[in-house]
Structure formats: C-alpha cells, structure tokens
Amino acid sequence: MLSPGQNWTDRMILIVDLTNPEIRILSDQFVSPVYRIVHQCDQETVAVRLEQICISQSCIGIIICGTALADSWYMQQQLIPLLEGWKGPVLGISTGMQMLLSETGGELQNYTGIGMTSVHVTDIGKKDPLMKGKEEFSGYVLHRYVTTPSPEWVPLATSGPTVQVAGHCTYPWYGVLFYPEVRNEWMIKRFIAFARGF
C-alpha cells in the first residue's frame, strides 16, 4: 500500500545484472530489454550488478536477469544471501531462476535449450496471479541447465518434464526459465502490477 504523499515513482523495481563484469556488453542484451519494459510501464527502476545489490526501503520488487549461454561467472556467486531479509516479490529470469532454485535446494542438471518452446500452464499455475488466463504459449529459451525445484517451489508452467515457471510456496518469488522479454512482455508487466499491489 502507498503511504500518504507517496506515488508509484517513489517505489522502484530493482533489476539485477548477473552477467560477467568483464564483458560489459552482455548487459545490452540481457538487462537493457528488461529495463526498457519496466520503464515503459512508468515504473521507477534501477539496474545494479549482482555484487552491488542493496535493497532499499523504496524497493517493491526485484527482477534478476539472465546471461549468455557461454557465461558461467554467476555460478561462482551466491544470490540468496544478498536477498537476506527480503520477503517481497522476486522474478528470476533464466539464470536468475537457476540461482533462486538451486540455492534453495533444487537440483541442477545439464540440459541445453535454445529457441522457441511450447509452455503449458499447470492447474496450480492457472490460479496464480502471474499466469492467470494463460494455458499454452511459446517462450524463448536460452539455457545450459535446468533446475528440478525443491519442495519449497511449485511448478506453474512446464515444457514436458522441464519446469518453465515456478512459484515459491512461502515468499512471492517466481522463477521463469524462458526469457519473458522476448514475445512475452506480459509476464514482466504482470510482475510489476503484482509488485505494486503487494
């Protein structure tokens, strides 16, 4: 809820860049498109590097972006300790999802996916605010790994045995394996609406 004198622009979405810091150009491809969508929603936003996460009181939600197939820098990093104390909305995209799920007990498996894939919303997903009204659609994937989630997470959408969207059972945290900025901007827009109303 808004405090008196506050408006939406006082409250911002934190976008986390987990691309390799030595290859800055990756941010153009993996962070800037998400930033633009959030900005187009008239939502105040700031993009920070993973190692510079600082969650201020004005933060209403966090989006963790993905990175290139060949990039493994993020695998030497830890995300969950940086989110310590944060119980608000999180959307982890691709490698962002991988970090969220694997650091909360999920099992990482080698499985490469490149290109458009069919995504089916589960029965639980159909009732979730992020996925409501969606049944089947195509998503753009670019990953070297998939994560089998721990029981802390529930699958909201799948492609065969692969979990494409997962929701945390306790916190308003989501992981999405495909890149929603490619042809599925609605998901980022819904996440923003969800974060605003949380």
Partner 1 sequence: MKVGALLSGGKDSLYAAWRMMQTGHEVACFITIQSRNPESYMFHTPNIGLTRLQAESAGIPLVIVETDGIKERELDDLTSAVQRCVREYGIEGIVTGAIQSVYQASRIERICHQENLWCFSPLWLCDQESYLHSLVSEGFEVIIAGVFAEPLDETWLGLKIDIPFIQRMKTINDKYHLSPAGEGGEYESFVCNAPFFKRKIIIIETKTWFEHGAGGYVITRAELD
Instruction: State the minimum distance, in angstroms, from the CB of residue 129 to partner 1.
Output: 25
Side chain identity at residue 20, one-letter code: N
Say how far residue 183 (Cα) sits from the centre of its chain.
Answer: 15
When asked if residue 42 is in the footprint of partner 1 (CB under 8 A), the reply is no
Instruction: State the minimum distance, in angstroms, from the CB of residue 152 to partner 1.
Output: 31
When asked if residue 69 is in the footprint of partner 1 (CB under 8 A), the reply is yes
Name which position in 25, 85, 160, 161 contacts partner 1 (CB under 8 A). 25
| In contact, 103 and 121? CB cutoff 8 Å | no
Please list every residue from 139 through 178 that binds partner 1, using CB under 8 A.
140, 142, 144
Give the length of the chain.
Answer: 198
When asked if residue 118 is in the footprint of partner 1 (CB under 8 A), the reply is no
When asked if residue 28 is in the footprint of partner 1 (CB under 8 A), the reply is yes
User: Is residue 77 helix, strand or coil?
Assistant: coil
| In contact, 184 and 176? CB cutoff 8 Å | no
Instruction: State the minimum distance, in angstroms, from the CB of residue 94 to partner 1.
Output: 13
| In contact, 117 and 178? CB cutoff 8 Å | yes
DSSP-assigned letter for residue 22: T
When asked if residue 110 is in the footprint of partner 1 (CB under 8 A), the reply is no
Four-residue CA torsion sign, 70, 65, 100, 190: negative
| Residues at the contact surface with partner 1, assessed by CB under 8 A | 23-26, 28-29, 32-33, 36, 68-71, 112, 114-116, 140, 142, 144, 181-183
